[in-house]
Amino acid sequence: VAIKEPMKAHVKSIPGPKSILYLKRLKKLNGAWSFPHPFVHSDKSQGCYIQDIDGNRFLDFASQIASNPLGYNHPDLLKVVKRYNTHPIKFAGQDFVIKEHIDMLEELLSIVPKSLNAAFLVNSGAEAVENAIKVCMRKRPETKYGISFEHAFHGRTLGALSLTNTRSVYKKNFLQLPMQRLPFTREATTTLLRLVEEEGSQENIGFVIIEPIQGEGGYNLPVEDLLGSVRKITKKYNIPLICDEVQSGMGRTGKWWAHQHFDIVPDVMSVAKALQVGACISSKEMFPEPGAISSTWGGGHRMDLALGIETIHIIQREHLLSSIQGQGKYLKERLNELNLTNVRGLGLMVAFDMPTKINRDNLVLECLKQGLVLLGCGKQSVRMIPPYIITKEEIDEAVMILERAVKVSSQKGFKHRGKICEFIECN
């Protein structure tokens, strides 16, 4: 039997000549242009490797921002894609019924805490958060504000955005809903208790929303017992607690949900990304009267639903939760060998810090040029969120590229040069 050559990252030129043509067109017409990774995806990606239309091959430690957890062209997901050969693919799921809607609800509710026994499927993580807070407010007629955390990211629609406390460019000039902010530290409980008690009435607090591990805001792990004590206070005062698991959920941390590392059960959960659809999950009693919440397409996208269901099945069948734990541990060990700062994370939700934002941006770009796709987060952190199917060999390859890129990009006066500068935010 011929030994199959392992795949390797390989970058000839970035952006390659074909990608350049597309990137120029996109830059001109996309009102939200914000320096995407400067290459164009081809159909030929495989496993943890992205292949672009110029034949460059990248090792993917970004997983489409945690929304593609099983890599590229996984054979079982391919089967699902090929199974769909009728039109429409997308129905008005709350008004018209398709089987996949029901199947997804059953699968999803089988992997969440038992007290959460109903869900509302929507189109995105932002919509999941919007509905999570709507569900709470409807139950709390005295709501005057909600509570989120410093460095929180909950999405870009204006309700979710009012809860988001990362970058000012996300919110400048926008009308906002009234929200209070807790530090993501030990002091959270003091502030929360002050709000509950000093403000006269806890009835004015619509909800507390927390990412068990903060995502966009910097892959920040909660200090010991932050979640436990927030859960205790919210329970005592009967304030609904929402866990936003859009990025941290669906197995990313080695458990189905990141909050399970901290032994709490939320009243409401928002989920999306790896699930392939958005979901607001709670108890049937918590959900409001008919007509109160809805969505044209929510629960109606047959293929997204079927791919989400199969994603759950594959994670179960291939015992990926335990391998996520093992590979995550190995990744952190290897990163620590490089003497990187503040290596942290749970499972395959891992990050480290660079000395400055410019260092971080340069490192992410240099890795890309050498074939490793990464994302930044927080002020100066790098996130590493490979597909759940990552192997030790692939982690080794990534760490090798990273080591080389740290050296190159940390040199004094380092600057990127060449065609790429037309498509990146040059420092």
14 binds its own copies (CB under 8 A): no
Q: How many CB atoms lie within 10 A of CB 43?
A: 8
Q: Which is nearer to its own copies, 76 or 225 (CB)?
A: 76
Q: Is 116 helix (H, G, I), strand (E, B) or coil?
A: coil
**From 29-37, 191-199, 218-226, 359-367, span contacting its own copies (CB under 8 A):** 29-37
112 binds its own copies (CB under 8 A): no
Write out the binding residues for its own copies, residues 193-232 only, by CB under 8 A: 206
36 binds its own copies (CB under 8 A): yes
110 binds its own copies (CB under 8 A): no
d(CA 249, CA 273): 9
Q: How far is the CB of 65 from its own copies (least distance, A)?
A: 4
270 binds its own copies (CB under 8 A): no
C-alpha closest to that of 193 among 224, 236, 223, 240: 236
Run of H or E residues at 405: helix 392-409
**From 1-9, 117-125, 229-237, 352-360, span contacting its own copies (CB under 8 A):** 117-125
Q: Which is nearer to its own copies, 128 or 340 (CB)?
A: 128
Q: How far is the CB of 373 from its own copies (least distance, A)?
A: 9
Residues 6+ apart with CB under 8 A from 239: 196, 202, 205, 207, 208, 233
Q: Taken in order 68, 211, 385, 402, is the CA torsion positive or negative?
A: positive
Q: Is 372 helix (H, G, I), strand (E, B) or coil?
A: strand
**According to CB under 8 A, which one of 51, 56, 124, 220 is a site residue for its own copies?**
124
How many chain residues interact with its own copies (CB under 8 A)? 120
Run of H or E residues at 255: none
Beta pairing partners, 343 = none
Write out the binding residues for its own copies, residues 143-202 only, by CB under 8 A: 143-146, 156-160, 162, 167, 169-170, 172-178
Q: How far is the CB of 315 from its own copies (least distance, A)?
A: 15
In angstroms, what is the C-alpha Rg of the chain? 22
Q: Which is nearer to its own copies, 212 or 215 (CB)?
A: 215
Q: Which is nearer to its own copies, 124 or 380 (CB)?
A: 124
C-alpha closest to that of 208 among 137, 259, 138: 137
17 binds its own copies (CB under 8 A): no
The residue whose two tokens read 């990926």 is: 320
